């Protein structure tokens, strides 16, 4: 069944691989990009293949951008069936060396922004009896693996994981909410020495965005298998 999916940070890396895989499955995909021109350039590359990909300006650190993006998508008559919170920010310095602005950006992109998007989209998901929410997290956000990574990255990804657990308890069972870890992926953030391609990193997110009715909720996954919080 063709559904409509919104992917934040969809213009490159893991996000673009998620967009591509979901579009190739026949879904209509809204590609969220902080820079609209870049998003439109990437979306245009799908036209020759006949894939249904549309760019929308979306900056998770900007509440007005989130509101405008949701209005744009819903105003076009597309009920969002699945949301992939993929956008990320990475400040490569110790936590206490970050500026207030950098800390606030990490919190906005990894926690506050996803909350705002989910809050805007959940009422329609609830009324239609179907929704899939995927939070692209990291093993660095796992207490079991020691909250790794630099700066605020692991801390705010842990907060995103906590959001997953909380929402899975609050939302109806027809809405599946899960976190996933893509692994070490060859992206601008992961670097060229990483062990996985963006396509490999995207697979679990795509699986979670298209779960059947009896699929899991409130879990943390890598390679479609549960991992520890």
Return the domain boundaries, the chain. Answer: 4-226
Helices (DSSP H) in 129-211: which residue ranges? Answer: 153-170, 198-209
CA proximity to 95, closest of 159, 154, 161: 154
Residue holding tokens 């993006």?
Answer: 69
pTM for the full predicted model: 0.95
Residue 150 to residue 71: CA distance in whole angstroms = 35
> Given 78, 90, 130, 153, which residue is catalytic?
153
CATH for 4-226 (2.40.50.320, 2.60.120.1090, 3.40.190.10, 3.40.50.720): 3.40.50.720
The reported pLDDT for the residue numbered 17 is 97
The reported pLDDT for the residue numbered 99 is 97
Residue holding tokens 């906005």?
Answer: 108
The reported pLDDT for the residue numbered 146 is 86
The 10s digit of each residue's pLDDT in 163-207 is 999 999 999 999 999 999 996 566 666 667 766 787 898 999 999
Question: What's the distance, CA 53 to chain centroid?
Answer: 16
153 annotated active-site: yes
The reported pLDDT for the residue numbered 190 is 62
Instruction: Work out whether strand 82-85 and strand 225-226 pair parallel, antiparallel, or are unpaired.
Output: unpaired
pLDDT < 70: residue spans in the chain: 183-191, 194-195
The reported pLDDT for the residue numbered 6 is 98
The reported pLDDT for the residue numbered 156 is 97
Q: Are 116 and 66 in contact (CB under 8 A)?
A: yes
């Amino acid at each position: 069944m063709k559904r409509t999916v919104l992917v934040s940070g969809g213009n490159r890396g893991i996000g673009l691989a998620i967009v591509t895989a979901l579009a190739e499955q026949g879904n209509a995909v809204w590609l969220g990009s902080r820079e609209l021109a870049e998003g439109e350039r990437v979306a245009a590359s799908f036209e020759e293949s006949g894939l249904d990909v549309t760019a929308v300006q979306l900056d998770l650190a900007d509440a007005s951008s989130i509101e405008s993006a949701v209005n744009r998508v819903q105003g076009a008559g597309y009920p969002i069936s699945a949301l992939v919170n993929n956008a990320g920010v990475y400040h490569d310095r110790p936590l206490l060396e970050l500026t207030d602005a950098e800390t606030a950006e990490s919190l906005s992109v990894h926690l506050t922004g996803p909350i705002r998007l989910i809050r805007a989209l959940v009422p329609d998901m609830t009324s239609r009896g179907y929704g899939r929410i995927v939070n692209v997290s990291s093993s660095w956000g796992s207490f079991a693996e020691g909250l790794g990574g630099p700066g605020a990255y692991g801390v705010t990804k842990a907060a995103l994981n906590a959001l997953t657990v909380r929402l899975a308890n609050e939302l109806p069972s027809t809405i599946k909410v899960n976190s996933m870890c893509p692994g070490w992926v060859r992206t601008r953030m992961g670097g060229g020495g990483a062990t996985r391609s963006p396509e490999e990193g995207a697979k679990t997110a795509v699986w979670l965005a298209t779960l059947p009715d009896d699929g899991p909720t409130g879990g943390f996954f890598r390679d479609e298998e549960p991992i520890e919080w």
